Structure 1
Amino acid sequence: MRHAIIIGNTDGIGLALTRRLLSDGWAVTGLSRRAAGLEHDRYVHVAADVTAAGYPAELERACAGAGRVELCVYAAGVGDLLDLDDLAAQTRAIEVNLLGVARTVEVVVPRMLAAGGGHLVGLSSLADSLISPEAPGYAASKAGMSSFLIALGAALRPRGVAVSTVRFGFVDTKMAKGAVRPMMITVDRAVDVLIRCLRTRPAVVSYPRRMTLLTAALRPVSRIQARLRKR
């Protein structure tokens, strides 16, 4: 039986993907700070915070209990708009979105290498290419996450381990903040994209395509705007 570890599956994409994999016959171990509200004979939940000192040990125990882990999906993520009275929220975005995935890699990748294969998927964002004064911690953490996973994937693919970086635009979850959310997709559509990713194992997925093109066009504009704000 195929076994997946999904990190950050209390709600949103992580929870929907957990349900889809269970319906497709996978066994799933979920790790998140709160319970996912799932009851299934092929589901095990572990309460864990990716920013806690004990997270790697919790993940190690979860992997050991699962046996061989064919798939690990890092779906944990936070992203608050900038509040100059609460800069700790920006730090937390970097801790969860970037350092959390790095700590996950430390535990999961050696196991996949020892097993001779596996697939690591990280949920990044099309915001990884933007300079965002509105959410600097989120944009910076996703830029670091994408860069890290894409480079890691290049190193691991010859060893039989695939790494996919999935860059979504706006998805209809609590993470979709802001007054304007162009081309927002449903959670179910995002899961469809992920299921296709599990079959084809691409290095990078950017979706939706029109939003990808729009983000690319906005990249130089965001850099100019950031420089002008300094004056």
Structure 2
Amino acid sequence: MPRALVVGNTDGIGLALTRRLLADGWSVVGVSRRPAELTGDTYEHRVADVAAPGYPAALSGLGPLDLCVYCAGVGELFDPGRLGDQSDAIRVNLIGAALTAEAVLPGMLAAGAGHLIGLSSLADVLISPEAPGYAASKAGLSSYLLGLSKALRPHGVAVSTVRFGFVDTKMAKGAATPMKIGVDDAVEVLMRCVRRRPAVVSYPRRMSLAARTLRAVTRLSLLSPPPRGT
């Protein structure tokens, strides 16, 4: 029976993915900040905060893993009175993912097999005044995972970066959420990724193109000189 670790799985994509893996015959270990509603002989849950100092210890003694999916993520719109929210995004979305990789990859490398998937975002190409911490964390995550993919593939370990646009979860904040997809659609994308093990998946593709266009427009606005006072 294949064995997976899903980090951040008490709601949203992580929860739906865990249910799908269990239904498909996987044994799953889930990790999140609160207890899970999931039960079963092939499911184990560990309560841990990926941003807490002792987080890596929560992943000790996992045993062999065929798959690890990092779904944990936070992101708040910018509030000048709450700059800590932006730092939190970097701690959870980027540092937490790196610590997870640090914990699970040695076992995969020893086995010469395994697959690490990180949920990034199409916002990884943006310079975002609306959510600077979120965009920066996803840019760092994508860069880190893509680098790991090239470094580890010769050793038999696959690393995939999955870049979603807006998904119908609590993370989809803001007045406009164009091309938003459902959680079930996101899970189907992830399951294809599990089967094919690509280095990167960007979905929806039209949203990926739109994000790159927006980045170009934003960069031009930043490079333009400020208006002169009268």
TM-score by length of 2: 0.96
Instruction: Give the 5 Å matches for 1:129-140.
Output: 129-140=125-136
What is the match of residue 93 of structure 1? 89
- The one-letter amino acid paired with 2:16 is A
Structure 1 residues 214 and 2, CA, compared in 2 at 3 Å: closer, same or farther?
same
What is the match of residue 169 of structure 1? 165
Instruction: Give % identity.
Output: 66
Output the CA distance in 2 between the equivalents of 1:124 and 1:213: 16
What is the match of residue 123 of structure 2? 127
Q: In terms of Rg, which structure is larger?
A: 2
Output the CA distance in 1 between the equivalents of 2:26 and 2:53: 29
Q: Deviations over 1:112-140 (max 9, x none)?
A: 00111100000000000000000000000
The offset of 1:39, in angstroms, is 1.3
Output the CA distance in 2 between the equivalents of 1:34 and 1:223: 40
Instruction: Give the 5 Å matches for 1:198-213.
Output: 198-213=194-209
Query: What are the ranges of 5 or more consecutive residues in structure 1 without an aligned counterpart?
Result: none
What is the match of residue 222 of structure 1? 218
Instruction: Give the 5 Å matches for 1:1-231.
Output: 1-61=1-61, 63=62, 67-227=63-223
Are the counterparts in 2 of residues 5 and 30 from structure 1 also a CA contact under 8 Å?
A: yes
The offset of 1:227, in angstroms, is 4.8
Q: Deviations over 1:144-174 (max 9, x none)?
A: 0000000011000000000000000000000
TM-score by length of 1: 0.96
The offset of 1:226, in angstroms, is 4.1
Are the counterparts in 2 of residues 131 and 226 from structure 1 also a CA contact under 8 Å?
A: no
Are the counterparts in 2 of residues 74 and 123 from structure 1 also a CA contact under 8 Å?
A: yes
| Secondary structure in 2 matching 1:85 | coil
Query: What are the ranges of 5 or more consecutive residues in structure 2 without an aligned counterpart?
Result: none
Are the counterparts in 2 of residues 72 and 121 from structure 1 also a CA contact under 8 Å?
A: yes
Q: Deviations over 1:60-105 (max 9, x none)?
A: 23x1xxx310000000000000010000000000000000011111
Structure 1 residues 57 and 213, CA, compared in 2 at 3 Å: closer, same or farther?
same
- The one-letter amino acid paired with 1:131 is I
